[in-house]
Amino acid sequence: MTNNINISADTKKLIISIVLIITTVAVFWQVNQFDFVNIDDQYYVIENHNIQSGVTFKGLSWAFNIRSAEFWQPLMWFSFMLDYHFHGLNAGGYHLTNLVLHILSTLLLFWFFCRMTGAVWESAFIAAFFALHPLHVESVAWISERKGALSVFFWMLTICLYVYYTEKPLIKRYLLVLFSFICALMSKSIVITLPVVMILLDYWPLKRFESKKDNLLSWQIKEKAPFFILSIVSSIITLFAQYNMSVQYTSFPLHSRIANVLISFVMYLEKLFYPHNMTFFYPFMNQYPFWQIIAAAIIILFISIVVIVMARKLPYLLVGWFWYVITITPVIGIIQISSQAMADRYIYLPSIGISIMLAWGVPLLFQSENTRKKILFTAAITFLATLALITWKQCGFWKNSVELLNHALYVRNDVYVVHDCLGLALFAEGKSEEAINHFNQALLLKSDYANSYYNRGVVYSTSGQYEKSVQDFNETIHLKPDYIPAYYNRAIVYSKIGQYQLAIKDYSKIISLEPDYAGAYNNRGAVYLNMGNNKLGCRDAQKACERGVCKILKIARSKGDCY
């Protein structure tokens, strides 16, 4: 992929960098006008009081606490705190931060491949493929995927510093690499495979194996051991954090997960070359046709054998393929981390491996240098321009929740999670009847989906259909006995219809589950006061105030002996 342009190499690199920035901004700038979406954004930002407290010692302590979230990702939380400090709840600011991180990752990717190989046009193709591929829209346009954008930025920075270190192995350079890797791990643990990729790069294009033949094993152990230790520690922390959060999703049997690994492994490849039917949620299939599983296994095995056999002659094919294989392994689904079969964001890093194979492999199809010059440059520009157009269109679907979810249903309308989320989005717009229809559809698809019972119950409650509301909250609690919001909202309904003892029972249950729940003390105190039990009402008002909610304390003081 070369082109005769009579300018210096540094000028060529500068021009390419500027073009990469301009094209990436042109494709993604629309995110500046996008809103939050109701898929995790509320948890990460909108309703997260720790983020909205700003950059404080208390907030940072929360961010670094491994019990604070499903995953340990303190730098992601810190970045959100900074965003809130500068942008408040203006979603555009958060989107632009993701875009800036994506652009920086693109430039670093271009830099370190140029530095390692000296091949400017091949490196430019890899960077452009990364910057403009439609499968990467989710990682840029979804605010909640900040962890992915941030971790990949530090991944790229780590590789750049590693290349810098290999040119002159000094301890201070080594420590910079180690520090950057730690930052990557504190953004998202998916980067645990980076030490293995560093070994791949040692093989090609750095070619460090050739100068270390006599002590190859001891050299790698000595140099990479700290990185592997950090990866192991990060994995343990992640598993511990997930265990403490008691993450709930449908558990799939091992044979189904293995089948899904093989199918999704090939599906990612298909979507890289033919990006179509992209959505934020790909449902897990319990059964695949046997022939599809066998075909997927044969494809994976065949490519792996070919690149290994050709490794000495064509090392970039081996490195590219195993970059893809290694980096996708943590999220491929053997260890179940969600109820999805696959996700576009999971291919953000692995796709680089395939672009390496394309950048150095496709020119091999043309023996004549002149043919390469005439065809490849034009073909690459056409291919990348096509990707950019698809990406621009795909990006537009992330404008807001309703737009995103309607598109997801257009891709596939039998996904209960999508119906549930769309019901919430429509309810937020005041479209209660439409929301209930989607909750009903979700429950037709999955009759034991507690979230839809709860969400429908909330809609019934706000529209005054209290009997239906209580029925839905009852079903929610039956399916999720410790789900505090269901008790809380059912207690509110009981209070409205005068069933005070039942309301008190629900608030008491909440307090038994979460002893510092200020809202439960406040509301239970209000119920006691309405019943004329001023002593208990006053006691709960005091407890609520001690926990930061003093709404009824003044009323309680006027009725009882409160300090």
Band (212; pLDDT cuts 50, 70, 90) = confident
Long-range contacts of 163-170 (CB under 8 A, 24+ apart): 163/112, 163/115, 163/116, 163/201, 163/206, 166/202, 166/206, 166/208
pLDDT in tens, 468-508: 999 999 999 999 999 999 999 999 999 999 999 999 999 99
**Torsion-angle region of 539 (φ positive above 0: left; ψ -120 to 50: alpha; else: beta):** alpha
pLDDT in tens, 115-157: 999 999 999 999 999 999 999 999 999 999 999 999 999 999 9
User: Whole-model pTM?
Assistant: 0.93
CB burial readout 72-102, b (16+ within 10 A) else e: bbbbbbbbbbebbeeeeeebebbbbbbbebb
User: Mean of the pLDDT values across residues 338-360?
Assistant: 94
Alpha-carbon span 148 to 138, nearest angstrom: 10
Alpha-carbon span 52 to 243, nearest angstrom: 26
Tokens linked to 462: 């706000």
Q: Please provide the average confidence, as pLDDT, over all residues in the chain.
A: 92
Long-range contacts of 308-315 (CB under 8 A, 24+ apart): 314/360, 314/361, 314/364, 315/203, 315/204, 315/205
DSSP single-letter state for residue 56: -
Enclosing H/E stretch for 538? helix 534-546
pLDDT beyond 80 at 371: no
| Residue type for position 424 | L
Identify the residue with better confidence: 533 or 558.
533
Alpha-carbon span 360 to 119, nearest angstrom: 10
pLDDT in tens, 31-80: 999 999 999 999 999 999 899 988 888 888 888 886 666 678 999 999 99
Quick one: which of 106, 119, 109 has its CA closest to 163?
Answer: 109
Tokens linked to 137: 């829209």
Tokens linked to 64: 């670094």
Alpha-carbon span 313 to 60, nearest angstrom: 51
Quick one: which of 120, 133, 147 has its CA closest to 11?
Answer: 120
Domains of the chain: 9-244+252-396 (no CATH), 402-559 (1.25.40.10)
End-to-end CA distance of the chain: 79
Percent of the chain at pLDDT above 70? 95
| Residue type for position 95 | H
Residue with tokens 């993450």: 247
pLDDT beyond 70 at 203: yes
Q: Note the pLDDT of residue 69.
A: 64
Q: Note the pLDDT of residue 2.
A: 46
pLDDT in tens, 404-440: 999 999 999 999 999 999 999 999 999 999 999 999 9
205: preceding bond cis by omega (within 30 degrees): yes
Percent of the chain at pLDDT above 90? 77
User: Mean of the pLDDT values across residues 305-315?
Assistant: 96
Residue 301 in 3-state DSSP?
helix
Residue with tokens 């000028």: 11
**Residue 43 and residue 50 in contact, taking contact as beta carbons nearer than 8 Å:** no
pLDDT beyond 50 at 247: no
Alpha-carbon span 240 to 377, nearest angstrom: 49
pLDDT in tens, 275-297: 999 999 999 888 899 999 999 99
**Torsion-angle region of 163 (φ positive above 0: left; ψ -120 to 50: alpha; else: beta):** alpha
Q: Note the pLDDT of residue 226.
A: 97
Alpha-carbon span 345 to 278, nearest angstrom: 11
Quick one: which of 427, 133, 102, 422 has its CA closest to 272?
Answer: 133
Q: Could you tell me which residues come within 8 angstroms of residue 527 by beta carbon, excluding any fewer than 6 positions away?
A: 495, 500, 503, 504, 507, 537
Beta-strand ranges (E) seen in 401-466 are none
Tokens linked to 85: 């400090």
pLDDT in tens, 373-395: 788 989 999 999 999 999 999 99
Identify the residue with better confidence: 340 or 371.
340
pLDDT beyond 50 at 353: yes
Q: Note the pLDDT of residue 99.
A: 98
